[in-house]
Amino acid sequence: MNPPPVSRLAQAVRDAGPTTASPPAKIDVQHLSFYYGATRALQDISLQIHPNVVTAFIGPSGCGKSTFLRTLNRMNDIIPGTRVEGRALIDGEDIYAPGVDVVGLRRRVGMVFQKSNPFPKSIFENVAYGLRINGMARTRSELTARVEESLKQAALWTEVQDRLHTSALALSGGQQQRLCIARALAIKPDVLLMDEPASALDPIATQRIEELVYSLKSSFTVVIVTHNMQQAARISDRTAFFWLGRLVEYDRTDRIFTAPVEKLTEDYVTGRFG
């Protein structure tokens, strides 16, 4: 996709009028800074993520997009020596306020990782894990039903329905990733965070993941980190561009790629720097 880097076009798009009014923010980040020890990895980030929308975080390697993603479900807490300043509100409540139930947060904000990490258990047990530990299925039949539902949502059901109790490690890379997505979906999170979910997969598997992400939009709020701009352009509604720990620009995807406001954004999306 080669957008014309012409400021007159940008001006024209801006003149076309304001964007449609968006519903209240699902995630409202206010002046968030993140520190690894003394190093300030994220600088004063403020943005709002809207529900039932796919939001993409793009930017060059090391720009902080994954780190920022992980602040949204407090996964960075497990790294010693890290610190957060500012607020991150999910459904109006600051997740970094003292006394917040982090375990409950992670139930509501699910995560899929770059490299699929299925547990060395059966396919069924992988998906059932979240349900079991959160006490979300009281009977065996309820558990089975919800596992089936999640696997269907992740477009994996037809491939594994006959071997639910075989090892998850025997699946292909793409199947394992879809299993991890099913596992995350099973506990019915509101938000799904995806950290470069297709980067380790071949093009065909990537396409299936992308279709899946697009289909999840109706039920979930999806935030996806990707280093692949074309992917962001294909599947996201809004895109945030990060650079060196700062949020440079955040707008509708079509605007970011056709008429970015910041020069830096324009340089990145046109491939002037990687």
Residue of 130, 128, 206, 119 whose CA lies nearest to 169: 119
Close Cβ partners of 120 (under 8 Å, ≥ 6 residues apart):
167, 168, 169
Q: Is 185 in the site for another protein (CB under 8 A)?
A: no
Which of 27, 41, 42, 75 is the binder for another protein (CB under 8 A)? 75
Which of 134, 144, 207, 228 is the binder for another protein (CB under 8 A)? 134
Q: Is 205 in the site for another protein (CB under 8 A)?
A: no
Any idea what DSSP says for residue 195? E
Span from 178-186, 197-205, 212-220, 234-242 in contact with another protein (CB under 8 A): 178-186
Close Cβ partners of 30 (under 8 Å, ≥ 6 residues apart):
46, 86, 87, 88, 89
Residue of 135, 111, 262 whose CA lies nearest to 183: 111
Tokens of residue 236, six digits = 């996201």
Instruction: Name the minimum Å distance from CB 233 to another protein.
Output: 27
Q: Is 97 in the site for another protein (CB under 8 A)?
A: no
Which of 115, 152, 227, 246 is the binder for another protein (CB under 8 A)? 115
CA distances to 50, 76, 83, 133, 136 from 86, in Å: 19, 15, 10, 31, 33
Instruction: Name the minimum Å distance from CB 268 to another protein.
Output: 29
Where do we find the tokens 């979240």?
130
Q: Is 104 in the site for another protein (CB under 8 A)?
A: yes
In the bound state with another protein, the residue whose beta carbon lies nearer, of 120 and 203, is 120
Q: Is 87 in the site for another protein (CB under 8 A)?
A: no
Q: Which residues in this chain contact another protein in the complex, by CB under 8 A?
A: 73, 75, 78, 102-104, 106-107, 110-111, 113, 115, 117-121, 129-130, 133-134, 167, 169, 180, 183-184, 187
